[in-house]
Amino acid sequence: MIAAEALAGGFERSVFDAQAVFRAVLSALSRPGQVFDLGERVRPPAPLTAAAGAVIATLADDTTPVHLDAAFAGTAVADWIAFHTGAPLTETPGEATFAIVGRPGGLTFDGFATGTAEYPDRSATLIVILDTLTGGPALRLSGPGIEGTAALAPAPLTPDFMALMTANRALFPRGLDLILTAGTRVAGLPRTTRLSAGGV
């Protein structure tokens, strides 16, 4: 039985909403450290948020398995995603094209596809739901898309986030890409971004 909340709250103007969300995500991954506001384009069931819901509704479809972490267990989120995107849900991180992380305090990169040397693009994209992108401990970012350095202050995140990202960077050109979200806002952390503690 699908709950009514799983059916409601999709894009109102799907073609144009998807385009606007995609452009924001493209900008976010092209310019790490900058935050883009998507506005409230979807109203998904909790704990999925407007930004994370909009991103998955924009990018996922029946060809992209989606993995949800334990935060979503027992909620209508899986049904909402299945109804609005047609994406198959998977329990196995290694099968996921997209993964939505609802408990960033327990974030781990274990098991997700990081691509191969020949096809580094065959890797997962993690959509991480946070409380803030700018109000947490400051991180300094450098790499492609950034003129000099940029700053981002996402929270809450696992204490070993920096170590995870450093290990991820070391896999390059393989690796995971992250779309950080908070409320209606997104920021990108592609695999190319180098992190260090402290602001700009």
Please pick, from the candidates 6, 29, 139, 152, the single residue that binds another protein as defined by CB under 8 A. Answer: 29
Per the DSSP assignment, residues forming a β-bridge with 36 are 186
Report which DSSP code applies to 184. Answer: T
Residue whose C-alpha is closest to residue 112's, from 101, 40, 12 = 101
The verdict on whether omega for the bond into residue 93 sits within 30 degrees of 0, i.e. cis, is no
Region from 57-65, 72-80, 130-138, 156-164 binding another protein, contact rule CB under 8 A: 57-65
Residue 69 interacts with another protein (CB under 8 A)?
A: no
Of 1, 74, 118, 159, the one binding another protein (CB under 8 A) is 118
Contact 128, 181 (CB under 8 A): yes
Torsion 25-170-138-104 (CA) sign? positive
- Separation of alpha carbons 169 and 191, rounded Å: 6
What DSSP character marks residue 49? Answer: -
> What is the β-pairing status of strands 194-197 and 98-101?
unpaired
Here the tokens at position 72 are 């979503």
Instruction: List the interface residues with another protein, window 136-195 (CB under 8 A).
Output: 144-147, 172-173, 175, 177, 190-192
| Identified binder of another protein from the candidate list 2, 7, 19, 70, rule CB under 8 A | 19
Tell which one of 120, 137, 156, 183 touches another protein (CB under 8 A). 120
- The contact pattern for another protein, residues 84-103, with x = CB under 8 A and - = no contact, is -------------x------
Q: Determine which residue in the list 2, 3, 26, 46 makes contact with another protein, applying CB under 8 A.
A: 26
Binding footprint of another protein on the chain (CB under 8 A): 14-16, 18-20, 22-23, 25-27, 29-31, 58-61, 63-64, 97, 116-121, 123, 125, 144-147, 172-173, 175, 177, 190-192
